[in-house]
Structure 1
Amino acid sequence: MTNLAMSQESFSVDRNFYDDRNYPRGMKRSGDFTLAEAEYLERYGVALMALAAGTRLPVTEEEQHFVEVCSGNAAVSNTLERAWLKYQNIILTPKQFHTLFGRTKVEADEDTESDPDDLD
């Protein structure tokens, strides 16, 4: 992974990003992200969300590249962009539900019942 080296003006925000709806116990404790990814998302997530949604205009080269990555016009070049795309993929993909029981009850059809002694 590429280390993140960016200017002070890039992705500046005045508060941390928390997604209580999808991560009520925090991103660091979720197991979905590495500690570095969770740290980047918490520190810069407010700016990333605004840039991705178009409610904030990019002011630096790093922010412009991030917007291009989000629109699919550029390749991922650092951990911050990779973490954001991973976050988006996780929250937009429906959670799979696993159970030990089947979804429907299997019922034997009375017409196809056979006698165990009739087996070849």
Structure 2
Amino acid sequence: MAESFISQQRFFDNKNYPRGFSRHGDFTIKESQLLEKHGVAFKELDNETRKPVTPEEKAFVAVCRGKAPASNEYEKVWLKYITCVNKAKKFHTLSGGKPQLDITDDFVDNDD
């Protein structure tokens, strides 16, 4: 796998992990290192801005498309990252969302 997932850049996600992957608590140190070292390649392969060259990269793309289960640490950490980022996008407020039901509408007073 030495020739797979090569990138000259470190991967950072300052929007979701401004203090770094290892300081946030979602990832182990090893997972954080994998993301930082190979995350640019992972993202490019997932976004189809980079064509898979090696069998490992082709298998990675198949995992990203849901056509195969994750079978190695590269695939597993990327799916974990995607899951964490998508979970972070969900934002809950007390004032937003569906309108609350007014329980008084269904109340029937039979004391007439």
TM-score exceeds 0.5: yes
Name the amino acid aligned to 1:87. Answer: Y
Structure 1 residue 38: Cα displacement: 0.7
**In structure 1, which of residues 70, 74, 77 is the aligned counterpart of residue 68 of structure 2?**
74
Instruction: Give 5+ residue unaligned stretches, structure 2.
Output: 96-103, 105-112
**In structure 2, which of residues 10, 14, 17 is the aligned counterpart of residue 20 of structure 1?**
14
Structure 1 residue 33: Cα displacement: 0.5
Equivalent position of 2:45 in the other structure = 51
Cα distance in 2 between the residues matched to 1:28 and 1:97: 25
1:90 aligns with 2:103: no
Higher RCO (CA 8 Å, separation ≥ 6 residues)? 1
Instruction: Give 5+ residue unaligned stretches, structure 1.
Output: 1-5, 110-120
Structure 1 residue 43: Cα displacement: 0.3
Matched length: 95
Equivalent position of 1:116 in the other structure = none
1:10 aligns with 2:21: no
Partner secondary structure for residue 18 of structure 1: coil
Larger radius of gyration: 1
Cα RMSD, aligned residues only: 1.8
- For 1:67-103, what per-residue CA distance to the aligned partner results, in whole angstroms no more than 9, with x for missing partners? 00000011111111111001001111235669xxxx4
Equivalent position of 2:30 in the other structure = 36
Equivalent position of 1:61 in the other structure = 55
- For 1:41-66, what per-residue CA distance to the aligned partner results, in whole angstroms no more than 9, with x for missing partners? 00000000000000100010000000
Cα distance in 1 between the residues matched to 2:56 and 2:31: 17
Task: Point out the structure with the larger helix share.
Answer: 2
Displaced runs of 4 or more, over 4 A? 95-98
